[in-house]
Amino acid sequence: MTEYRIEKDSMGEMQVPKHALWGASTARAVANFPVSGMTGSSLPDLIRAYGYLKKACALANRDVKALDPKIADAIARAADEMIEGKHNKEFVVDVFQAGAGTSINMNANEVLATRGMQIAAGGGQELKINPNDHVNYGQSTNDTFPTVLHLSALLAFPRLDAGLKAVQDACEKKGREWARVIKSGRTHLQDAVPITLGQEFMSWRNCIRHVRQTLKEAADKLLELALGGSAIGSGLNTADGYRPVAYDYLRKFTGLPVREPEDPFEAVNSRWAFLHFSGAIRTAAVELTRITNDIRLLSCGPTTGLDEFRLKPVQPGSSIMPGKINPSNPECMNQLLYQVLGNDHTVYLCAMAGQLDLNVMMPTMCCTTLWSMNWLANFLPKFAEDSVLGCTLNAERCQNYFETSQALVTVLNPIIGYANAAKIAKETLTTGKTPKQLIREHGILTPEQEKKYYDIDYLTKRYPQAGFDG
């Protein structure tokens, strides 16, 4: 049976579980927003960002003599525990909550106040630490939540980038392995001039490389923070000299080159930088969807599909058809990517919903983006392993597509003209003969010309491919 204590806030008394570090404001939020069952504890990067932020603010206020050094140090020590993840379970407010993030900001303030007092008591000091007057001194949800919004995404970013790098490296490895596996290209889902399987995989590699660069450039915009603006950007109730010191501490603690805002009012009221970052994630998801779909197409079969390569079998594909193997890994990736795209649309709507001097939709922007980043970071390495590195070549099928594709007659254009080449192409369909057979029958090319025009390098390597010398 849960034991309770009574805590008070500006609205009155609330029952709080006896051993909880949070207090009355958090208890009200828990009661007010029984939405998803997913709480702040499910977003460790957000909690870590709050730890860095509150520690920096406490020590900055100490340094400018706005906060008792003993209180500031106790808060900082409690924040260190938050950064280490020791108090994640204390973040109990639903991710869908009141606007701007006031509830989760107070959740952090209350946890740090209670834990700070416990730490002080353990050292023989009796301190009274107030969540609002001390932990939140010189701050507002309106400048702290935009700050942790950016910081949490920056903290999560290396894991996302590592996942994308795993796919990039896997595509490059396959690209080099299959550099000389010639096959038919396809445009409009119809036969096209030849390409190598390695060139297709290397093109995916280069796409992911560019996507990663786009994300890095977008992440740079998140380094400009709102901290110091307090409620509206004016810095009301902040101590003289506090803001630059707080930024110095944030740079030291996080290792990130965060910077003060060019316009502190804009930094509070606009979420354009976060929308831009979410848009870069959307671009990644769009390109990953395209690549995933191509992998499913090229591996479909095995007897009635393209079957140019086969995916690593990871589980039985049917509860009724024995021996059936489905593209389970890329199917999972597709579903994940569709959710990521939906999450970006949510961010877009939330960013657009900013009104006057504040955007209050930040909690949803935060959780949806961190979900996308963490889910992708979790699954991309598995996708790279199973859907890219794990696939095996069907060389015979690729060679057959190359030899039988009517698009091979394209090399005849400079010799006999487009119209005559088109006649040969049509003849391949009516006779079932390959372009090479018909070319020999009609005596169109000499043996030397045939050797030249149907050489793999002549057909597929007119221009170099980035990162690929295969």
On whether the CB atoms of residues 289 and 337 are closer than 8 A, the answer is: yes
What average pLDDT score do residues 33-62 get?
Answer: 97
| Sole residue written with tokens 């206020």 | 61
Question: In angstroms, rounded to a whole number, what is the distance separating the alpha carbons of residues 278 and 285?
Answer: 10
User: Is the pLDDT at 230 greater than 50, yes or no?
Assistant: yes
Question: In angstroms, rounded to a whole number, what is the distance separating the alpha carbons of residues 355 and 270?
Answer: 9
Q: Please report the pLDDT score of residue 470 as a whole number.
A: 42
| pLDDT classification of 283: cutoffs 50, 70, 90 | very high
pLDDT cut 70: percent of the chain above it: 99
Burial class (CB in 10 A: 0-12, 13-18, 19+), 274: buried
What average pLDDT score do residues 155-164 get?
Answer: 98
| Sole residue written with tokens 């051993």 | 19
Is 103 one of the catalytic residues? no
On whether the CB atoms of residues 66 and 134 are closer than 8 A, the answer is: no
Q: What is the pLDDT of residues 124-158, one digit of tens each?
A: 999 999 999 999 999 999 999 999 999 999 999 99
On whether the CB atoms of residues 330 and 391 are closer than 8 A, the answer is: no
User: Is the pLDDT at 6 greater than 50, yes or no?
Assistant: yes
User: Is the pLDDT at 469 greater than 80, yes or no?
Assistant: no
The closest of 134, 163, 156 to 57, measured between CA atoms, is: 134
User: Is the pLDDT at 89 greater than 50, yes or no?
Assistant: yes
On whether the CB atoms of residues 398 and 308 are closer than 8 A, the answer is: yes
Q: What is the pLDDT of residues 327-349, one digit of tens each?
A: 999 999 999 999 999 999 999 99
Q: Please report the pLDDT score of residue 232 as a whole number.
A: 97
On whether the CB atoms of residues 462 and 411 are closer than 8 A, the answer is: no
Q: Please report the pLDDT score of residue 463 as a whole number.
A: 85
Q: Which residues face 224 on adjacent strands? A: 259
On whether the CB atoms of residues 367 and 151 are closer than 8 A, the answer is: no
Helix axes 362-383, 328-352, angle to 10 degrees: 160
Helix axes 141-177, 102-122, angle to 10 degrees: 100
Q: What is the pLDDT of residues 420-466, one digit of tens each?
A: 999 999 999 999 999 999 999 999 999 999 999 999 999 998 888 88
Residue environment code for 226-264, b if the CB has 16+ CB neighbours within 10 A, otherwise e: bbbbbbbbebeebbeebbebbbebbeebbebebebbeeb
Catalytic one among 42, 230, 318, 387? 318
Tokens of 350: 């939330």
What would you report as the CA-atom Rg of the chain, rounded to the nearest whole angstrom?
Answer: 30
Q: Please report the pLDDT score of residue 1 as a whole number.
A: 74
Q: What is the mean pLDDT of the chain?
A: 96
Q: Please report the pLDDT score of residue 464 as a whole number.
A: 85
Q: Please report the pLDDT score of residue 468 as a whole number.
A: 65
